Structure 1
Amino acid sequence: MSIRLRLTLWYTGLLAMTLLIFGVSVFMFINWNTYNDLKVMIKKQSDQINVNMTYILNRGTLDLDLISKSKLVDKDIFVQLVNYHEKLILQPTDLLMAGAKISYPDVESKPEKGYYKRTIEVGKVKYDLLTYQRPVFSPITEGQIVGLLQVGVLTHNEDKYLSGLRNTLIIYSILVVFIAFTIGMLIARQALRPIGRVIDATQQIEKGSDLSMRIPSDGPKDEVGVLVDTLNSMLSRLQTAYNELDEAYKAQRRFVSDASHELRTPLTTIRGNIDLLEKMWSRAKESGQLQGKDGLMLTTDHWQMSSEAMSDIAAEARRMSTLVGDLLALARADAGYVMEKEQVQLLPLTEEVVRRAQLLPRDAEWKIGDLSRLVGVPVYGNYDYLQQLLFIFIENAFKYTPSGHVELSSVRTASYVGWRIQDTGIGMNPDEIPHIFDRFYRADESRGVTVGTGLGLSIAKWILDEHGGSVEVVTLENEGTTFTIWLPIDFSEGEDSSIIVETDPNVS
């Protein structure tokens, strides 16, 4: 059963119940009011007749007489006087209804006064008669009932009127319910039309893969309008999430390709050098270049080739260790690894990194700028990871600076301290800045200038986040890049936060 039909049935059922209650209430009120007027009238007539009634004792017998001049206001009034003593029924001549008589209770049953509904038959026609009866007591013997006065009125007009009213209420109620059902179906169809558009749109999205589709929203901002806006917002978020997953999937594929290449190269070198060593040892053994019992002695050329092979193996092993270390760092980040932190002095840490950075392979000149802003300034962090953070940015600058220089200097504000790594390398498009810290992202992938997996800056961003730091990037293609790294100063031992050291005006 559709929502439209259910809503219409609920609405129609509620309306039918309302009409039923209203109709019954109206009918009962009119019925009570109509019969109450009749009761008042016959009660009044009964009182009038009773006043003019006389008790006559004739020859020791009891007789009742009805004064013929009683004021009866309606020709449909029926009067009957029962004389229990004489077993007579007396009726006024002008009120006789073709000898019609109504039943009356026996004197032994001690009839009580009140209103009663009776049926009389005149000829072959039956009439409903509303009567009011009043016992007549003996003036001699207290409490003895000697007669019964009954005054009635025919109710066929009232019954006909009430019957017509009842039929009218029933017919019109059924008609109103039918009309309400029909109109309700039309209104529900119009009101739920946006729901139909929602269903059509979602079915198209389900059958296809176009998440850019949106549900038309041109109606009022009612509940359905809010639902449409909510669904459109949800579709936008789904589209964004789907695109992000798609980008992540592409990045993972790039990473698998790059990692495979990065791992295959050192493995090939290692295998090649191992094969070379095996051949050299085999040839030396076959040529008889063995001396003594202690082992195999090689010529000078063989020793030199063996040394170069060992050096290549060691270098490629270091490359593989670096890649595995990067992957392990990211795995720790994903697992919610919590660093052990303590107060760290930045100047000694930086000096150690500077010394070790001089040994990194590079083509650019390595310059050390002003580091005085780091003197006596502590931060709360992990010594090893902060070293790794600075190494990543320095090594990244060397990698993308084929000529020129890379310079390291210090920066500080009232609450933050850090480093600035400035190079004169290939730079990058400013539009790529929001993505350079994403995993597996490489800004120069289309140009193929350098090799790498795009994990270094992702690790650096994780270390920065763990230390509550931030990084600023200024870059321009073919003109170089400047990274400014900020770390919060640790004031736990009373470091003066009011000192503000002037920094480069080009960096905020």
Structure 2
Amino acid sequence: MSIRLRLTLLYTLILALTLLLFGTALYTVQAQGTLNALKQELSRGGESTVQMVLRFYRDASLLPPDPPPGEDHRPPLQDLSSEPAFQQLREREIVRVLNAEGVLVATPFAAASEALPLSVEGLDALRNQEIWWEIASWDEARLLIYNRPVIVDDELVFIVQTARPLTEREDSLRTLSRTLLIAGVLTTVIAFGIGWALAGAALRPIHRITQTAQAIGNESDFSRRVDYTGPDDEVGRLATTFNAMLVRLEEAYRRVSEALSLQRDFVADVSHELRTPLTTIRGNLALLRRTPPLPEAEQNEILVDAEVESDRMTRLVNNLLLLARADAGPSLKHAPVAVAPVIEESCRQARQLDRQREIVEHIAKDVTVLGDRDALKQIALILLDNALKHSQGSITVSVKAEAPWALLEVRDVGPGIAPDLLPHVFDRFHRGQANSDTPGFGLGLPIAKTLVEGCNGAIAIESTPGCGSVVRVRLPLWAEQDAKPGTSATER
């Protein structure tokens, strides 16, 4: 069952229950109101009849004070029935006069046998001088009967019955119930149709969201958006949130696609880099197995070539291993490390890579950071190696304290980095078109960034095309108050 149908049925059910409660209340109020009105009219008519009967009783003395035994105690009917006032009573209100035993005494237009119904409970209540209301069937009609005791000298003398048919009231109530039923059914049907249309209009943006999601799933096109121009209600906020999610998904999908493309290129580069030394080593080994054997000088050259290629593969594998450890979240030490010895050692090793290049050092001797010594050295070597590969002039290395940080800068003079490539220098596997012929795998700066962040530091790069680049590393300074008992020694 769709949400649209469920909402429409819910609205219709609520309306139907409301109409049912309203109709029941209206019918009950109308029924009770008409009944009370009839009772009031009957009470007024009955009281008039009682006053008339009392006057006749006092004047005519219908009941003898001491009737002889065996004689009929009922007064002569013709005396009261022939009274003009009694004759003038409206036949719409049926009037009967009974004696204390409940026997018919007088009636304006009827014979003595046509008495109105009176139950035993009603007769007992009248004898106890209580008014009694009764609804009974009489002459194929339902009557509302008002039974009024006539008390003289604290004794029940007569019972006056005033009745009126309930036919008009019941016909009116039946008409009212049919009207309420028909109106309720028609209103419910119309409300169902209107609710169906309104629910469809309200859920139309959700339907468009569903269609957009299906299209995105089928076409993998995250550039599509939900077209919503309605008010800023719950559905509007849903459409806005869905569009915002699509923006983030599109960006994430783009990044994942770029990363996968870079990884494919990286795998191809690694395969090429590994295939070349492996082919060289295999060829050299085949040469060493030749018979007769090669001269000793040539054998030494072959071994040197194999060693160089083996070192190259070792460096590649070490970089991949370091990157894998970085992805796994390496646990670096956080101990005081003197920066100057580490940077000076790294500069000496870097000079061995290119003895023609000048590396200028401006290193403060009293700078101590809270970090990992091996990570700090790896960071310095990566930055120096990167500067040697991508520049031609001198390289300047500086270390100074800028509380609460220690600042390490590596500045080179060279072609620099293009502005469109600068935001991607820390992306893994990224080398840039300008550097596609430069040896390396695009892992140095990403590894350095991971290590710096592992030491709770930050790294940034600035570059001016045609002038060179500068890499700045900030690491937290170590202070004496940071030392724990037993850890005051500085790593060197």
The alignment's TM-score, normalised by the length of structure 2, stands at 0.86
Aligned to 1:56: 63
Judge which range, 81-90 or 259-268, deviates more.
81-90
Q: 1:366 aligns with which of 358, 373, 382?
A: 358
Correspondence list, 1:34-113, <5 A: 34-51=34-51, 52-53=53-54, 54=57, 55-57=62-64, 60=68, 61=71, 62-64=73-75, 66=80, 68-69=84-85, 74-83=90-99, 88-93=104-109, 96=110, 101-105=115-119, 110=124, 112=126, 113=131
Question: Counterpart of 1:343 in 2: which secondary structure?
Answer: strand
**For residue 344 of structure 1, what is the amino acid of its counterpart?**
V
1:454 to partner: Cα distance: 0.8
Q: Which runs of 5+ in 1 are unaligned?
A: 285-297, 496-508
1:324 maps to 2:317: yes
Q: 1:384 aligns with which of 358, 369, 374?
A: 374
**For residue 261 of structure 2, what is the amino acid of its counterpart?**
K
1:256 to partner: Cα distance: 0.8
Q: CA RMSD in A?
A: 2.9
**For residue 310 of structure 1, what is the amino acid of its counterpart?**
L
Q: Could you tell me how far apart the structure 2 residues matched to 1:97 and 1:357 are?
A: 140
Aligned to 1:235: 246
**For residue 33 of structure 2, what is the amino acid of its counterpart?**
N
Report the CA distance shift for 1:97/1:317 in structure 2 as closer, same or farther (over 3 A): farther
Question: Counterpart of 1:69 in 2: which secondary structure?
Answer: helix
Aligned to 2:143: 129
Aligned to 2:307: 314
Q: Could you tell me how far apart the structure 1 residues matched to 2:102 and 2:372 are?
A: 129
Question: Counterpart of 2:247 in 1: which secondary structure?
Answer: helix
What do the CA deviations read for 1:305-360 (whole angstroms, capped 9, x no partner)? Answer: 22222222222222111111111111111112211232111111111112111111
Q: Could you tell me how far apart the structure 2 residues matched to 1:330 and 1:71 are?
A: 121
1:283 maps to 2:292: yes
Q: 1:119 aligns with which of 137, 141, 146?
A: 137
Correspondence list, 1:443-458, <5 A: 443-444=432-433, 448-458=436-446
Correspondence list, 1:22-41, <5 A: 22-41=22-41
Q: Percent identity?
A: 35
Q: 1:218 aligns with which of 211, 224, 229?
A: 229
Work out whether residues 417 and 463 of structure 2, in 8 Å CA contact, stay in contact via their aligned partners in 1.
Answer: yes
Judge which range, 8-17 or 156-165, deviates more.
156-165
Give the helix-richer structure, 1 or 2. 2
Work out whether residues 468 and 487 of structure 1, in 8 Å CA contact, stay in contact via their aligned partners in 2.
Answer: yes
Q: Could you tell me how far apart the structure 1 residues matched to 2:38 and 2:297 are?
A: 138
Report the CA distance shift for 1:87/1:19 in structure 2 as closer, same or farther (over 3 A): closer
1:128 to partner: Cα distance: 2.4
The alignment's TM-score, normalised by the length of structure 1, stands at 0.83
**For residue 362 of structure 2, what is the amino acid of its counterpart?**
D
Q: Could you tell me how far apart the structure 2 residues matched to 1:108 and 1:385 are?
A: 109
Q: Could you tell me how far apart the structure 1 residues matched to 2:84 and 2:410 are?
A: 133
Count of residues in Structure 1 that have an aligned counterpart in Structure 2: 463
Work out whether residues 95 and 107 of structure 2, in 8 Å CA contact, stay in contact via their aligned partners in 1.
Answer: yes
Q: Could you tell me how far apart the structure 2 residues matched to 1:447 and 1:174 are?
A: 80
Aligned to 2:476: 488
Question: Counterpart of 1:19 in 2: which secondary structure?
Answer: helix
Q: Could you tell me how far apart the structure 1 residues matched to 2:430 and 2:263 are?
A: 10
What do the CA deviations read for 1:275-324 (whole angstroms, capped 9, x no partner)? Answer: 23223xx324xxxxxxxxxxxxx9xxx33222222222222222111111
**For residue 40 of structure 2, what is the amino acid of its counterpart?**
V
Judge which range, 175-184 or 376-385, deviates more.
175-184
Q: Could you tell me how far apart the structure 1 residues matched to 2:124 and 2:481 are?
A: 114
Q: Could you tell me how far apart the structure 2 residues matched to 1:392 and 1:87 are?
A: 127
Work out whether residues 427 and 479 of structure 1, in 8 Å CA contact, stay in contact via their aligned partners in 2.
Answer: yes
Aligned to 1:354: 347
Report the CA distance shift for 1:243/1:153 in structure 2 as closer, same or farther (over 3 A): same
Aligned to 1:293: none
1:71 to partner: Cα distance: 10
Work out whether residues 57 and 63 of structure 1, in 8 Å CA contact, stay in contact via their aligned partners in 2.
Answer: no
Aligned to 1:503: none
Question: Counterpart of 1:252 in 2: which secondary structure?
Answer: helix
Q: Which runs of 5+ in 2 are unaligned?
A: 484-492
Correspondence list, 1:118-267, <5 A: 118-121=136-139, 126-135=140-149, 148-267=159-278
Work out whether residues 100 and 120 of structure 1, in 8 Å CA contact, stay in contact via their aligned partners in 2.
Answer: no
